[in-house]
Amino acid sequence: MTQAAPDLLLGLIGDNIAKSRSPLLHQLVGRQNDMVVRYDRLIPREQGKEFDDLFAWCPGAGYRGINVTYPYKERAFAKVTVEDPLVRSVGAVNTVLFDAEGAKGHNTDFSGFMAAYRAARGETPPGTVLMIGTGGVGRAVAFGLLGLGASALRLVDRDLPKAEALAEELRTAGKGVEVTVHSDAAEAAEGAQGLINCTPVGMVGYEGTPLPAPAMAGSEWVFDAVYTPTDTQFLQDAEAAGLQIISGWELFFWQGVHAWTLFSDGKPLDTGALRAALLDPATTEQ
């Protein structure tokens, strides 16, 4: 029997996404709207295509839109039209819509991080923040920190020129915000209120932590962009040190909520019911 076409065809392009919960999130919200949503994991090497070819294939294959994750967010930015000036400043996209006018890019990591932070800490400003990793998600989080009123940002990345380039962009966008680049995360953590991991270290296949546990002493809060697994070593160390935790799951949740709004042209969703369903161990993809 031929399977009926979905009401909405979506996908996720990235590496190491076999355990991503994004398909389930969008299927659950689809059910809230009596829609059948198909959300495919599109791993370039498994599809037998390079990223550029896979991206170009999607609109002709019927995809309304795609999410883009590590390590392709900056490459996707170069392929889309971005209308939002803040997202243009970020220089990376994680959500792409395909229509007759071409591919349009958005960044729900940017908006999702700000929503996750405010849900946890309200209007309390971030203070001085150490951020490790200045790739696609790091760029989104860094500009989100500007929007949240951070007083100073300390950037760490193995690729120092990349970190320096982001620092200069942040200085231009965030007048009065001190932005510095460091090579040693533990030294840069001294005196910081917030500690952030925006590297893949800690995710399935990249075990470990980007910051030694003793370096967390004296900080107030942490955020880890990794959400598979939810309980990374970075967050376990932070919890042991008594820091307030904002998990990568919260970013996953809010970026997905915001992406759904874009993919569905504003169809509603019940965030409380969605959160409960995603956290319910009995929930499975159907």
Q: Tens of pLDDT along the chain (286 residues)? A: 456 789 999 999 999 899 899 999 999 999 999 999 999 999 999 999 999 999 999 999 999 999 999 899 999 999 999 999 889 999 999 999 999 999 999 999 999 999 999 999 999 999 999 999 999 999 999 999 999 999 999 999 999 999 999 999 999 998 789 999 999 999 999 999 999 999 999 988 889 999 999 999 999 999 999 988 889 999 999 999 999 999 999 999 999 999 999 999 999 999 999 999 999 988 754 4
Helix axes 271-279, 248-263, angle to 10 degrees: 130
Give yes or no: residues 152 and 241 share one domain.
yes
Angle at 81 between CA 73 and CA 112, to 5 degrees: 50
- Measure the CA–CA gap between 125 and 223, rounded to whole angstroms: 14
Point out which residues pair with 245 in neighbouring strands: 222
Q: Which two tokens stand for residue 97?
A: 């819509």
Quote the number of domains for the chain. Answer: 2
Give yes or no: residues 162 and 217 share one domain.
yes
Give yes or no: residues 32 and 70 share one domain.
yes
Q: What CATH number did the domain enclosing 40 receive?
A: 3.40.50.10860
Residue 229: asked if its preceding bond is cis (omega within 30°), the reply is yes
Give yes or no: residues 166 and 273 share one domain.
no
Give yes or no: residues 44 and 151 share one domain.
no
Give yes or no: residues 103 and 180 share one domain.
no
Give yes or no: residues 79 and 166 share one domain.
no
Give yes or no: residues 204 and 102 share one domain.
no
Give yes or no: residues 213 and 165 share one domain.
yes
Q: Note down the domain range covering 183.
A: 110-247
Q: Does residue 203 form part of some domain? A: yes
Give yes or no: residues 176 and 229 share one domain.
yes
Active site residue 63: no
Give yes or no: residues 101 and 119 share one domain.
no
The catalytic position among 72, 117, 206, 227 is: 72
Give yes or no: residues 24 and 39 share one domain.
yes
